[in-house]
Amino acid sequence: MSPAAFPGRFPTTRLRRLRQAPWLRRLAAETALTVDQLIWPCFILPGEKAREPVASMPGVARYSVDLLVDQVREAADLGIPAVALFPATEADRRTPDGREATNPDNLMCRAIRAVKAAVPEIGIIGDVALDPYTTHGHDGLMDGDTILNDETLKVLVRQALVMAEAGLDVVAPSDMMDGRIGAIRTALDGAGHRGVVLLSYAAKYASAYYGPFRDAVGSGARLKGDKRTYQMNPANSDEALREIELDLAEGADMVMVKPGLPYLDVIRRARETFGVPVLAYQVSGEYAALRAASDNGWLSYDAVMMETLSAFRRAGCSGILTYAAKDAARILAGSSSG
């Protein structure tokens, strides 16, 4: 008998059989992308009735709190479960020590209260880091050119507490200071915020993909030097697992890998090693590159965007922060309605 005639080999086995019709492809799909995995990052602007497009991120804008509420309500109506808020703090409120981050009435806290009051069914994720509040654009306090780790922790704790008091659902430290997860968890629990979820940007790389985001929050032009002494080396993945393990031991409920697509291997390793919810951030540079290619007619935005989001799911993501969340939600709604 010819080897080809044995079961499990061609021509007895033909893998194309399960690809020949849409219903078969759906039935045999190993992973599924749904609106439940989408998180929409949005930028907050001072003032009222204000909307400013972000030039380096086509389709993305900053919104004043009153207009932000309408945008978040639209996201909730699309089924998106959570939004992540990022403030573009006024220049005159930025200081070397980032003290505005701990102001209970800062732009971020006002936005949290407004969104929570108007759209209580959606989750709110808040970034804990000092770069939107400092004159130097770094995530921590500085002494000369040195980022001060332990001194920064005290400020981050106060920042997390004022946002929790404002009604934040998920505290998300993105600063990459050592020990910040344990310090924040202890402070939240001590202040009675035991139900506040702690999402750690555990594996945040010193990436070249962050430029448009820094434009959006106004920290890019201010940044002195770079962030390589605290954000991770893109060459390392074992180190990412050490970061994640430490943050989980300190009380993190979920972990983040950032950026997203260039680090799918890290996402997969994290999910398989720890079995906890792993989120990815499809960062500003990833989104901007996709949009630029689409705007030039080189790629189909909808098709490539959905393929990319599916890749995050295939790698093991429980959730995906993406500026394309609303677009993806509309596409998913259309496909499910058929």
Give the Cα separation of 38 and 313 in Å (integer): 11
Give the Cα separation of 210 and 220 in Å (integer): 9
Give the Cα separation of 304 and 294 in Å (integer): 9
Q: Of these residues, 49, 224, 227, 258, which one is catalytic? A: 258
Q: Of these residues, 204, 224, 227, 326, which one is catalytic? A: 204
First-last CA distance in the chain: 47
Give the Cα separation of 273 and 67 in Å (integer): 42
Mapping DSSP to helix (H, G, I), strand (E, B) and coil, where does residue 202 land?
Answer: strand
204 counts as catalytic: yes
154 counts as catalytic: no
Pairing status of strand 51-53 against strand 38-45 = unpaired
Catalytic positions, please?
204, 258
